[in-house]
Chains A and B, each alone.
Chain A
Amino acid sequence: DADVTQTPRNRITKTGKRIMLECSQTKGHDRMYWYRQDPGLGLRLIYYSFDVKDINKGEISDGYSVSRQAQAKFSLSLESAIPNQTALYFCATSISLAGRNEQYFGPGTRLTVT
């Protein structure tokens, strides 16, 4: 079973709709992240959370909100979706120990806003 799961995997929605993307992890990591990937732009950080009570904005947080419901769950919401939020969204996790702290990624959610 995957350690980091994302639901849904694909979603098509209309402009103005509210949508939530969910991320769950069984790795026991305390840190979680949301990124979006656009062609030619790499991955850009939307929000990150170092523990349940710690939420931080990333590089491109406008138009998004997040909720850390538990250590293992981190959800991303688009309150009113717009077409330029069409992208591939990744959730990632890492652990706060000294060392390399690589991030482990979920499979991604492909979101299309029409």
Chain B
Amino acid sequence: AQKITQTQPGMFVQEKEAVTLDCTYDTSDPSYGLFWYKQPSSGEMIFLIYQGSYDQQNATEGRYSLNFQKARKSANLVISASQLGDSAMYFCAMREGANSKLTFGKGITLSVRP
């Protein structure tokens, strides 16, 4: 079974609107971390936000927030007030236990329309 699943096809959002990018995960380890990375067309990988499995509150970093639903094993990224510069590929990743290795999903392409 895939550990990280990102199944949305290419996503489109109007500038200034909010968008949610879906991520579901699969692990039996009670201690894990979930990450979102952004990859613009220039290719670099940019860390956006982190959610720990024991964190009581959903993570937020500026315009990014993580809708963490532990029972559903989902960790959706919400981008508020989309900007043209948000157009990129977005990857969800998971770290299990104390191991710092990451398992990545296949990514979602987001296009922001002016």
Contacts and interface: CB of A to CB of B under 8 A. Distances in A.
B91 A102 contact: no
- Which range holds the interface residue count of chain A? 20 to 34
Contacts of B50: 100, 102
Contact of B106 (A33, A41, A100, A102): A41
Contacts of B47: 102-104
B12 to A, nearest CB: 19
Q: Describe B's contact surface by its main secondary structure.
A: strand
B100 A94 contact: yes
B64 to A, nearest CB: 13
Nearest to B105: A42
A108 B44 contact: yes
A40 B107 CA distance: 8
A74 interface: no
Interface string B25-54: 000000001010100000111110010100
A92 B50 CA distance: 17
A64 B4 CA distance: 25
B101 A48 contact: yes
A105 B95 contact: no
Contacts of B52: 100
B104 A42 contact: yes
Contact of B33 (A88, A100, A108): A100
B101 A58 contact: yes
A108 B89 CA distance: 15
A54 to B, nearest CB: 12
Contacts of B107: 42
A80 interface: no
Nearest to A48: B101
Interface string A72-104: 000000000000000010101010100011111
Interface of B: 4, 33, 35, 37, 43-47, 50, 52, 91, 93, 95, 100-107
24 contacts: A33-B102, A41-B106, A43-B104, A44-B104, A48-B101, A50-B100, A58-B101, A88-B43, A92-B45, A94-B100, A100-B35, A100-B50, A101-B33, A101-B100, A102-B50, A103-B35, A103-B47, A103-B102, A105-B44, A105-B45, A105-B46, A107-B44, A108-B44, A108-B45
